[in-house]
Amino acid sequence: MKINSFKAFGVHNYLDFDINFFPDVTFLIGINGSGKTSALKLILGLTSPRYNYLNQINYEYCEIVCSTGEDEKDIIIKSEQNANENTLNLSLEYRGETITSEPIKRFSRSEDQGLDAEDISLMERKCKEAFDSMDVAEKIRELATPKFLGLDRRIYQGSWNVRPQARRQWILSRGRSKSFEGLPEPQAIDVSLDEVQSLVFDYTRKLPRSQNEINEKFKEQLFSQSLHFVQDYNLEDIPSLKEIGERKIKVLSAIESLGFNYLKSTVESFFGHLERIAKENEEISESEKMSDETNFSQKYLKMMREWYINGDQLKKIDDIIMYSQGYQEAVAKLRAPFEKL
């Protein structure tokens, strides 16, 4: 999914947003208090969707437009708050279908000061469960929503929402207190950062194994090719100097991309001999090929013997180039997710 635009009105009762996103990178720049983090929280609240983000911030209306393809703008996610009723709703327009939720009660700790900790926890949990169980919330989760890194410019090791054991311990530690001022505000944890981190860790663990499999396949191809038994060899014509030069360039390019630059002198030497044979073949006359009417000359036989012995190496070299290209493509595909990230 690609984000096209984001709009919001009445954020914190004084901010309005109208942001169009660029195809590659969009920077939100502003002084402290200008609403950068609030905009990101609302965007994540719409696309995740997350009750905490939409509940924490006061706003009249917010909307995000996204594309599943090339600038299709076929996904519109909206939310409205009703200050009088202290509720919010969520709606999704996707492929001609519109789904809108019933109003969900907003949870405010400041209004519930002095209540029992368990009652406050129960109220908060009910609001979140009601939000998460909405059809529109489930539909949005089915979409390939964007990921955000560093939403709050900090990295947290845990979340109030995903660490119930720590939450219970904190409540129990406060249980004997006669007065209770409500649970502390949950920190704005970037949930998507945790998801991306998990994906990176999982892929990092898988990468060495997959890399070894690609390496082993490449080595097997090279070794098997060297053991190929030739039952019959059809001697091809000696190629021209130009053709041999073109093959040499391909081989040099292949060994450079594989990091085998130390083989450059060996390649130059091998193709130097082939170029000598090709040159001799282009310069030798028909009369020089024969010593008499029935026998080839020693000069011609030596040239053809060298070509017969080494000419087949060109076919093997072509195979090696093909294997190396396949190897590099496999490695590039394996590492593509990291490059995109």
pLDDT by residue (tens digit) across 231-245?
665 666 888 889 888
93 and 41 fall within a common domain: yes
Task: Determine the average pLDDT of the residues in 316-335.
Answer: 82
Main-chain phi, psi angles of 166, to 5 degrees: -65, -35
Q: Which residues pair with 3 in a beta bridge?
A: 66
185 and 207 fall within a common domain: no
| Segment of 51-55, 152-156, 203-207 carrying the highest mean pLDDT | 51-55
Confidence of residue 163 (pLDDT cuts 50, 70, 90): very low
Question: Does residue 141 surpass a pLDDT of 60?
Answer: yes
Residue 30's alpha-carbon distances to 27, 38, 174, in angstroms, are 10, 12, 40
Range of the domain at 32: 2-189
Check if the beta carbon of residue 1 is closer than 8 Å to that of residue 75: yes
Return the percentage of the chain with pLDDT > 70, whole number.
77
Output the pLDDT for position 312.
77
Selected residue with higher pLDDT from 66 and 108? 66
Output the pLDDT for position 60.
96
233 and 151 fall within a common domain: no
Output the pLDDT for position 59.
96
- pTM assigned to the model: 0.47
171 and 260 fall within a common domain: no
The 3-state DSSP class for residue 146 equals coil
Residue 86 lies in a domain: yes
Q: DSSP string of 75-88?
A: EEEEEEEETTTTEE
185 and 220 fall within a common domain: no
> 269: exposed, middle or buried (C-beta count within 10 Å: 0-12, 13-18, 19+)?
exposed
Selected residue with higher pLDDT from 304 and 178? 304
